[in-house]
Structure 1
Amino acid sequence: MEGKLVGVHKVTVKLADGRLETYYYAWRGKGAPRMKSKPGTKAFTQEYVRLTRDRQAAAVTGTIGSLIDDFRKTPGYQSLSPSTRRDYERQFGAIRLEFETFSVKHIEARGSRKVFLDWRDTMSEAPRSADMHIALLSRLFAWAKDKEIILRNPLERVERLHDGTRRDIIWTDAQINKVLTEAAPHIRSVAMIALWTMQRQADILTMPTLAFDGQRVMIKQGKTGARVRVVAAPDILPVLRKAKEIQQQRVLVNSFGQNWTSSGFRSSWRKEMARLGVKGVTFHDLRGTAITFAYANLDRSHDEKIKLISEISGHTQDDAESIIRKHYLAGQEVVDAIGRGTKKE
């Protein structure tokens, strides 16, 4: 991997005790930062991208590098959450290393798809990361096609290397009942909000108390930027009203009454699930469970149910329907579990 990082400067020095030591710098010259990661590793590449990101010169017009520059200036890209942009910047860094000067006209050429997929396959030891890189490149090309910069996107309908979706996994009635009756109050509140709103972890933990108007909760989804209004179910009204009464900044807080941090919550959740003996499911799996619950209770046609669920949860309609088709038979069991758990408080 070291050889692919154009510009890395390697220096071998003799130490006072006679040993030879090799140092790596992000570039040659005065002021170049020394790299601390082990050469040839993924961390080494990521460190190089981070150090050189702000030093990059303007890309040559008519290249993938210039497409990236223009795409990063779009309102859609700028409106992404900071964490999403950080992930994209790291991936764009790797794409630039390989395709910075790749001509736009060659994107459309026959055989370009194989070039890009061959590059993805060099990362096959980390299939999820490989898929994320190629998906971002495809998104870049889709934007360029929409702007008529290119006439075709060679990365449409690319089959993924990673098959780690968890949409096939939902919580059992026993697991839900365990958390809703025996978990620590600050953990139980988060689980209840997740089940009754179908939102992502980050959106739930950062939900401001002002988002609750007494009947509904207004949520801005960090991943998509979409704003949704969710009716506050009776089961979560006590949590929402208490936060409003004591004027908390956010609806959900930790055991010290402080705002959750993402790392703090993950650690607390992991420890509490271990204490309760809840295994095989994650916090994220609560979304699929909630979708099953919602489908079982909505008095609408199938298509209307899927549309409403996807609008609130942030899933695509195809993903929502996939979850329903796999778990509808278990839906009533989940509903009963939630009901039993909340009634025992």
Structure 2
Amino acid sequence: MTLVRVKGFKIFKDRHGKTRCYHRATGHKIDIEKSPIGSAEFFAECETIRAIADAQKAKAPKAGTLGALFQTYFQTEHFQNLAEATRRDYRKCADFLEPIKGTPIHVIDTPLIAGVHDKAAKKIGWRRANMVRTLLSEVFRYNIPKGLISANFAKDVIPKRRPRDRAYANRPWTIEERDTVLGNAKPHVRVALALMMNTGLDPSDALRLRNDQVDGGTIWGVRGKTGEEVAIPVSPTLKAALDRMPKHEAETVLSNSRGEAWTYNGFSTVWHRFKIKLEEEGLIAPGLTLKGLRHTVATTLREAGLDERRIADLLGQKTPSMARHYSRSANLAEKNRETMAALEKENERRAKIVKPSPKSVKPDQNEDQT
């Protein structure tokens, strides 16, 4: 038998006597049965694997560059423990910075990062530009202890301010808007909105809330964004809304019309269509968002005279602490019970002042399949 040798590949017999071949650098295997050693197909497969390996090598960031810092940061435990949405946003920011990833570390300084920040604001807007700045700050911060960069050159870059003519992204809802939306919403949508309105939960956290997280008149949850535990008492208004919810078999508190757990994209699509319809009918003003309900709770409580610390406790805005025990959450739940009572009282007061128009309330309908 002719001995065949190909640079970069190992050809050998395994313990069963079967001939095998793989690329040393990447570990990519060649199917000997489909491409017998020495055949044209075999050599073509070797060239393909070699070309892919060369392309990957050329694409990999060089040591001592901004791209290498990104690569190191994305492998840290800190990045891996971030919420999925945050990781996705950071990856998008890194893609935006792709053209300058070859920048040598020794030329990076605060003026350079400030210039990048300014250019980002012009290309992708002030909000995304600030996220680019935040990512760079995190990348530098976690690479300093590794000795890969000397300082956090993004720390002193001033964040961009919201333009004066820019509308409030997640403005609070008015009492009229709240009553109109609930009055026109179909059952499965109405209860989801009621849950967000009466807890301040992020939409994604509300949709993921499981039945076993509601116990003893309290919602025991964890904020998906920060990992912070929350203990939210179920107010009388929320309990009444949950009691009216159509029966279903999903493990989540909320479900769609098929009795299945909502997906975030699924609910967002249904909400968007519903909202646009109300806008076209002139029943609500533009600008309502699901996250605006979280702002509504915070604003209502602030206007009711509660301090920022109590509001932050209810919304889970403390510094994350995974070592917190259930007893501490129980104490927090008791304090939040007073906070929720204040929210309930303030909403009732506002409802007495503003009476919803009868034409904005429609009778229940059977919900379409979503």
TM bin (shorter chain): 0.5 to 0.7
Q: Cα gap change, 1:90/1:30 in structure 2, threshold over 3 Å: closer, same or farther?
A: farther
Q: Say which of 274, 284, 306 aligns to 1:278.
A: 284
Partners of 1:290 and 1:54 lie apart in 2 by 50
**RMSD of Structure 2 on Structure 1 (CA):** 3.9
Query: Using a 3 Å threshold, how does the CA distance of structure 1 residues 258 and 160 change in structure 2: closer, same or farther?
Result: same
Partner amino acid, structure 2, of 1:135 = T
Per-residue CA deviation, residues 143-190 of structure 1 (Å, 9 max, x unaligned), is 445777433433435232654572683212211111233322212111
Q: SS where residue 128 of structure 2 aligns?
A: helix
1:76 to 2:78 alignment:
yes
| Aligned residue type for 1:116 | V
SS where residue 283 of structure 1 aligns?
A: coil
Q: The residue matched to 2:215 in structure 1 has which SS?
A: coil
Contact (CA 8 Å) 2:200, 2:298: kept in 1 or not?
Answer: yes
In the alignment, the residues of structure 2 paired with residue 229 and residue 98 of structure 1 have an alpha-carbon distance, to the nearest angstrom, of 45
Distance 1:131-1:154 versus aligned 2 partners, 3 A rule: closer
Of residues 285, 291, 296, the one that matches 1:289 is 296
Q: Mark the CA change 1:204 to 1:181 in structure 2 (over 3 Å): closer, same or farther.
A: same
Tell me how far 1:78 sits from its aligned partner: 0.8
- What letter corresponds to residue 111 of structure 1 in structure 2? P
Give matches, 1:74-223, under 5 Å. Answer: 74-103=76-105, 105-107=106-108, 109=109, 111-121=111-121, 123=123, 126-145=125-144, 149-160=149-160, 163=163, 164=166, 166=168, 169-223=171-225
2:300 counterpart letter in structure 1? F
Letter in 1 for 2:112: S
**CA apart distance, 1:98:** 1.3
Amino acid aligned to 2:227 = G
User: Which of 253, 256, 259 pairs up with 2:258?
Assistant: 256
Deviations 1:187-234 (A, max 9, x none): 211111111211211111111111111321122222222222212212
> CA contact under 8 A between 2:209 and 2:252: conserved in structure 1?
yes
In structure 1, C-alpha distance between the alignment counterparts of 2:243 and 2:348, rounded to whole Å: 26
Number of matched residues? 274
Alignment check: 8 A CA contact 1:131 1:162 kept: no
For structure 1, list consecutive stretches of 5 or more residues without a partner in the other structure.
1-28, 33-52, 318-330
Taking every aligned residue pair, what percent have the same amino acid on both sides?
Answer: 23
Instruction: Measure the CA separation in 1 of the matches of 2:170 and 2:272.
Output: 21
8 Å contact from structure 1 (residues 219, 229) kept in 2? yes
Q: Is the 8 A contact 2:256 2:262 kept in 1?
A: yes
Select the structure that is richer in helix: 1
Letter in 2 for 1:313: L
The 8 Å contact of residues 140 and 151 in structure 2, kept in 1 or not, is answered as no
Instruction: Report SS of the residue matched to 1:237.
Output: helix
1:113–1:155 CA contact under 8 A, matched in 2: no
Residue 315 of structure 2: aligned partner: 313
Corresponding residue of 2:4: none
Sort the Cα spacing of 1:78 and 1:244 in 2 relative to 1 into closer, same or farther, 3 A: farther
Query: Which runs of 5 or more residues in structure 2 are unaligned?
Result: 1-46, 320-344, 365-370
Residue equivalent to 1:21: none
SS in 2 for 1:111: helix
